[in-house]
Structure 1
Amino acid sequence: MTTDSQWHQAGQAQSYGEALLQDEQVCLREVEPEDLAQLAAWWNDPQWAVLQQRIAKPRPSQRIMDMLAAWSENKPNSGDAGFSIFERNQGNLIGHATLAGGALPHRAAEFAIMLGGEHVDRGYGTRAVRLMTGYGFNEMGLNRIGLKVAAFNTRALRSYEKAGFSLEGREREVYFHQGKFHDQLSLSLLARDYFATVRP
């Protein structure tokens, strides 16, 4: 990806576009109707819902599908972006990621990601986080990307930290699972920190 302030030929723009939504192993694509049933099944799986949701309460699949479709409409100038995550070599759907609320004047979006359980611990999550943050800063013009994660979700926390996110604070006793309260962590990544570390 070029760091020049402007392009001087079409090839520079095309190289940027080619790398914008994919790396060697993962690509971000539009959410198609055929993706939604699998995404809803992952959302409703209590083993993984407990890591991301305030309460593990499966909902009708159609409502989850409608919600994910709405998050992924990608209307121009909306300040939101949502994509299906695919593994490049085999072309398998592996998850979903969103940036929400990044409109002017604040340009501060909230990030969320979900991977199917069978695709966890393979490095895909960190790659997808990096692609989404790069998209947010390079294409959407965001200044800040924030997220919240349960303190006990140490796997996700490591992935976010590898992608450059910094801990901002701890919200005490936000989650209630197994009869006990659990903390939530707030993390963020700023555009200036992203561009200070991204490779040209």
Structure 2
Amino acid sequence: MNDLPRTDFSVKPTLIGEEVLLRPFLLDQDAPVLRSILRDPEVGRLTGSDHGPADPEPWNEAAEERMHVWYGTRHEQSDRLDLAVVERATGSCVGEAVLNQWDSDNRSCSFRIALAVAGQGRGLGTEAVRLTVGYGFERLGLHRISLGVFAFNPRARRAYEKAGFVVEGVRRDVLLYDGAWVDDIVMSILAPEWERHRGHPEAAQ
């Protein structure tokens, strides 16, 4: 994999799996689900964007405009990849998967994913992780993909582990949520690991 050319993220692919496909955002079609994710207090808690039950800002015209500007410009970004997660059975967007914080010299980046309630608990997220990570290693020539998951989100941690991410450390007391400190668990996956198990580490053992 070391001979893969270094590239950027300007190409926005469509990645097809068994249960989900990942594609560029279609804002007119995807906006209701994206809005529901941004307004969901549980998503805010698990991502650390909210700091307690009283913290979320009200959704107003300014928030709506920020959403449209953000998702309407994802196709223009050459230093990150933002894709909609779409359930193939229904054709509906259920979330987003993102490669960002790209370090071109060290061929590394970060990963994050957010799913609406309708997309949770059915393995869609795990497949979306595998599709995104596989693209990063096999098509972009990345060497390392990392993420952080808060300690009060064991379901997400398990999904990442099923796709091959391993825990490499803990950043203690990173988030203050509702008066309590929460650790951030740092996880990563490397290109040689992906090459060995293709996102199915348990089957490769």
Question: TM-score with structure 2 length normalisation?
Answer: 0.80
State the structure with bigger RCO (CA 8 A, min sep 6), 1 or 2.
2
The 5 A counterparts of 1:47-196 are: 47-56=42-51, 57-58=56-57, 60-70=63-73, 72-73=74-75, 75=77, 78-196=78-196
Answer whether contact 1:143 1:191 (CA < 8 A) is retained: yes
Q: Could you say what secondary structure the match of 1:102 adopts?
A: strand
Alignment correspondent of 2:24: 30
1:149 Cα shift?
A: 0.8
Q: Mind listing any 5+ residue stretches in structure 2 that lack a counterpart? A: 4-13, 201-205
Question: What's the Cα RMSD here?
Answer: 2.3
Answer whether contact 2:27 2:71 (CA < 8 A) is retained: no
Which of 30, 36, 39 matches 1:41? 36
Alignment correspondent of 1:11: none
1:102 Cα shift?
A: 2.7
1:69 Cα shift?
A: 3.7
Give the 3 Å change call, closer, same or farther, for CA 149–65 of structure 1 in structure 2.
farther
Q: Could you say what secondary structure the match of 1:140 adopts?
A: coil
Mapped to 2, the partners of 1:175 and 1:123 lie a distance apart of 27
- Amino-acid identity (%): 34
Mapped to 1, the partners of 2:190 and 2:65 lie a distance apart of 36
Q: Deviations over 1:60-106 (max 9, x none)?
A: 13213323444x3254xx34111000001111111001101335212
Q: Mind listing any 5+ residue stretches in structure 1 that lack a counterpart? A: 6-19
Answer whether contact 1:149 1:184 (CA < 8 A) is retained: yes
Mapped to 2, the partners of 1:90 and 1:137 lie a distance apart of 29
Q: Could you say what secondary structure the match of 1:174 adopts?
A: strand
Structure 1 runs of 4+ with >3 Å offset? none
Mapped to 1, the partners of 2:71 and 2:150 lie a distance apart of 21
Give the 3 Å change call, closer, same or farther, for CA 179–101 of structure 1 in structure 2.
closer
